[in-house]
Chain A
Amino acid sequence: MSEVYKWVCRVSTAVGIFAAGLMFVAILVVCHMVFVRAVLNESSIWQTEFVTFALIAATFLGAPYILLTRGHVNVDLLPILLGESGRRRLAWLATLLSFGFCMVLFYSSVHWWWEAWELGLTTPSIWRARLWIPYLSLPVGLGLLCLQYAVDMWALAKGLSSPFAPIVTNDSVPQESAA
């Protein structure tokens, strides 16, 4: 299990790097769009949708890495006030509820994505982007998020991580939230 734990953390980090790359590409595409409109005086066709889809994908694909580094901001007043055992119980409750919600969201997003794939849905714009491509970021990101939650619970049970504290692996250095 220890190997699985490390691999899940590595995959979350790798997909997080991919998500960061999508943000970089989104910047380039916005610049391209401004150039096409302002300098070439032409209308943009695909750029607006591409940027929006890339940033949505970055949000969902980056979610497991953000969880790994405890970047999803929370209200930690009660955890601070409670003692060690109370904090541990609360961490279990919070993690189980979040895990359950992500599982429901993952399940429904798989169906939703499958429908877009089966029906060959496209955007109504001139670009007619195939919707299963941007939609894919939800099941993939949420599936990985569930996996990250699962190993998170394992680490909590094994005492490898303290309640509400970041998981530390060789691949990822947890950062203080900048939110």
Chain B
Amino acid sequence: MNPLIIGAFIFALTLVLLATGMPIAFALGITALFFMVLNDGWMAITFLPETLFSGLDDFTLASIPMFIIMGAAVASSRAGSDLYEALSRWLYKVPGSLVISNIGACALFSALTGSSPATCAAIGKMGIPEMRRRGYDADLATGAIAAGGTLGILIPPSVTMILYGIASETSIGALFIAGILPGLLLTSLFIAWALFLSWKRGNTQVFAGQSYTLAQRLELMPKLLPLMLVVVGVIYSLYGGIATPSEAAGVGAALCLAMVVVIYRMWTVKDLWHIFRDALRESGMLLMIIGMSVLFSYAMSSSLVTQSVATAIAEMDVNRWVMLGAVNVFLLVLGCFLPPAAIILMTTPIILPVITAAGFDPIWFGVMLTINMELGLITPPVGLNLFVINGITPDVKLTTILRGAFPFMMCMVLAIVLLCFFPGIATWLPSVLMG
């Protein structure tokens, strides 16, 4: 059978299985098993455990659970609310400072945890009620946090970028560095929109009559600076080539654990279990998807689907920007239904050869893809951040959150357009720092 037709069958079967609501990992595994049996007969069953195990038997993958533990440790502590409080105390004189504090806290917390839902939950729990108490409309308060939370997968360290780095065999250190400027760009765009809207709605004098002494402003710094230094140290050791991603993440996780134990006194068995339980759930779920996607990729390449689809796209001879636009739309649609990990692992083997053949930089594309995945986190029907926010503020309708998040989605689209016109936003810093 024509590999392209087999590819269409694989795509259709995967969609049907995913629609049943079964775990994504098993939907990928069943599809892979079906086509492996079709190709190699029932003997294919005997290859399953070996293929699965060898797919996970890679020390680089250890960086994923390590970064997750690092994030879970910080997310379980009061670091999020401290960060928010510290920024509020420093910025209280600036017009619209509450919005800046919220989005800024999201950006900084992203650097500490690398997780979008965790960022949303940690900053949103403090920020949304405070913004609403001070008269901000619910759509702006919730939309700003939903969008700010998405920065978690763009600002390093980012598990999404690690997955892309592994799937595309590009430097994880370079990807991390490449995410910094686009992360700052998005943060600025988010702040600019939120400030404009709050100014338009007359929410600029919200801190009138309040003041903080220098001592009060510095009060929370001893708690937050050590955590920030760990993250900076991890990223520095990565781009400096001092440590591998797994080593840097492992030491970072140990230091973050030690700090939350010492600074936030989280030393009870219950506290530690909560950290490791959350980390186990996220890392186990991700590694299971990674393992099954290895089977999926094996089934695709042994049926020559990967190679045929890449060749077919390349032979279409369309303008490379049109092709890039189509890829972006495709990723965006997938992002509405699937989590970033599944999209990256399923599509990178097919899309990346096409992208690189069209002359695009894989690091730059990694940043574009991550912003696309960010969009998926606040796009219905399965935008995870929307549901996290809905959980924090059950009295705000999902449609209100969506209305608030929409302009921030447009900021992300603008960031993608800016990245297309000025690719240096992503590629300049890695080229300067890493050569």
Q: Which residues of A are at the interface with B, using a C-beta cutoff of 8 A?
A: 16-17, 19-21, 23-24, 26-28, 30-31, 33-34, 48, 51-53, 55-56, 58-59, 62-63, 65-67, 69, 71-80, 90-91, 93-95, 97-98, 101-102, 104-105, 107-109, 111-113, 134-135, 138, 164, 175-179
B53 near A55: Cβ-Cβ < 8 Å: no
> Restricting to B183-232, which residues have a CB under 8 Å from any CB of A?
none
The residues of B that contact A28 with a CB separation of less than 8 Å are: 254
A135 near B246: Cβ-Cβ < 8 Å: no
20 contacts between A and B (CB under 8 A): A21-B276, A27-B253, A34-B243, A55-B56, A55-B65, A58-B280, A59-B283, A63-B284, A65-B281, A71-B282, A72-B23, A73-B23, A73-B285, A75-B337, A76-B21, A77-B19, A78-B20, A101-B33, A108-B46, A112-B50
A58 near B22: Cβ-Cβ < 8 Å: no
The answer to whether B279 has its CB under 8 Å from any CB of chain A is: yes
Which residue of B is nearest A65, CB measured?
B280
The answer to whether B358 has its CB under 8 Å from any CB of chain A is: no
Q: How many residues of B contact A (CB 8 A)?
A: 65
The answer to whether B18 has its CB under 8 Å from any CB of chain A is: yes
SS of B interface (majority): helix
B62 near A31: Cβ-Cβ < 8 Å: no
Give A58 to B365 CA distance when docked, in angstroms.
Answer: 32
B30 near A26: Cβ-Cβ < 8 Å: no
Beyond A20-B273, A62-B280, A178-B118, is A105–B250 a contact (Cβ under 8 Å)?
no
Which residue of A is nearest B23, CB measured?
A72
> Restricting to B73-129, which residues have a CB under 8 Å from any CB of A?
115, 117-118
The answer to whether B288 has its CB under 8 Å from any CB of chain A is: yes
Q: From the candidates B49, B284, B337, name the one contacting A59 in the complex (CB within 8 A).
A: B284
The residues of B that contact A95 with a CB separation of less than 8 Å are: 22
B273 near A74: Cβ-Cβ < 8 Å: no
Q: A131 to chain B: closest CB distance in Å?
A: 9
The answer to whether B236 has its CB under 8 Å from any CB of chain A is: no
> Restricting to B20-47, which residues have a CB under 8 Å from any CB of A?
20-26, 29-30, 33, 45-46
The 6 closest A-B pairs by CB, nearest first: A30-B250, A72-B23, A20-B276, A71-B281, A94-B22, A62-B284
The answer to whether B382 has its CB under 8 Å from any CB of chain A is: yes
Q: A13 to chain B: closest CB distance in Å?
A: 10
Beyond A104-B33, A135-B53, is A74–B24 a contact (Cβ under 8 Å)?
yes
Contact bitstring B48-70, A, C-beta under 8 A = 1, else 0: 11101100111101100110010
SS of A interface (majority): helix
Give A28 to B255 CA distance when docked, in angstroms.
Answer: 11
The answer to whether B278 has its CB under 8 Å from any CB of chain A is: yes
Q: From the candidates A34, A48, A66, A97, name the one contacting B22 in the complex (CB within 8 A).
A: A97
Which residue of B is nearest A32, CB measured?
B250
Q: From the candidates B18, B33, B49, name the one contacting A138 in the complex (CB within 8 A).
A: B49
Give A48 to B66 CA distance when docked, in angstroms.
Answer: 14
Q: Which residues of B are at the interface with A, using a C-beta cutoff of 8 A?
A: 17-26, 29-30, 33, 45-46, 48-50, 52-53, 56-59, 61-62, 65-66, 69, 115, 117-118, 243, 246-247, 249-251, 253-254, 257, 273, 276-289, 291, 337-339, 341, 381-382, 384, 391
Q: A48 to chain B: closest CB distance in Å?
A: 5
Give A113 to B286 CA distance when docked, in angstroms.
Answer: 24
A94 near B20: Cβ-Cβ < 8 Å: yes
Give A59 to B292 CA distance when docked, in angstroms.
Answer: 12
Give A70 to B100 CA distance when docked, in angstroms.
Answer: 36
Q: B29 to chain A: closest CB distance in Å?
A: 6
B288 near A90: Cβ-Cβ < 8 Å: no
A79 near B59: Cβ-Cβ < 8 Å: no
Q: From the candidates A71, A74, A98, A112, name the one contacting B284 in the complex (CB within 8 A).
A: A71
A175 near B45: Cβ-Cβ < 8 Å: no
The residues of B that contact A19 with a CB separation of less than 8 Å are: 280, 284
Beyond A51-B246, A138-B49, A164-B21, is A23–B280 a contact (Cβ under 8 Å)?
yes
Give A75 to B20 CA distance when docked, in angstroms.
Answer: 8
The residues of B that contact A176 with a CB separation of less than 8 Å are: 391
Which residue of A is nearest B15, CB measured?
A75
Most buried by B among A28, A55, A175, A178: A178
Q: A21 to chain B: closest CB distance in Å?
A: 8
Beyond A59-B287, A77-B382, A175-B281, is A108–B23 a contact (Cβ under 8 Å)?
no
Q: A90 to chain B: closest CB distance in Å?
A: 6
A109 near B49: Cβ-Cβ < 8 Å: yes
Which residue of B is nearest A176, CB measured?
B391
B46 near A111: Cβ-Cβ < 8 Å: yes
B22 near A98: Cβ-Cβ < 8 Å: yes
Which residue of B is nearest A29, CB measured?
B250
Most buried by B among A28, A75, A90, A98: A75
The residues of A that contact B257 with a CB separation of less than 8 Å are: 27
Q: B351 to chain A: closest CB distance in Å?
A: 20
The residues of A that contact B384 with a CB separation of less than 8 Å are: 179
Which residue of A is nearest B29, CB measured?
A101
Q: B43 to chain A: closest CB distance in Å?
A: 10
A23 near B276: Cβ-Cβ < 8 Å: yes
Given A52-B59, A98-B22, A101-B30, 11 additional A-B pairs, CB 8 A: A16-B280, A30-B249, A65-B280, A65-B281, A77-B337, A90-B21, A98-B23, A101-B26, A175-B277, A178-B118, A179-B282
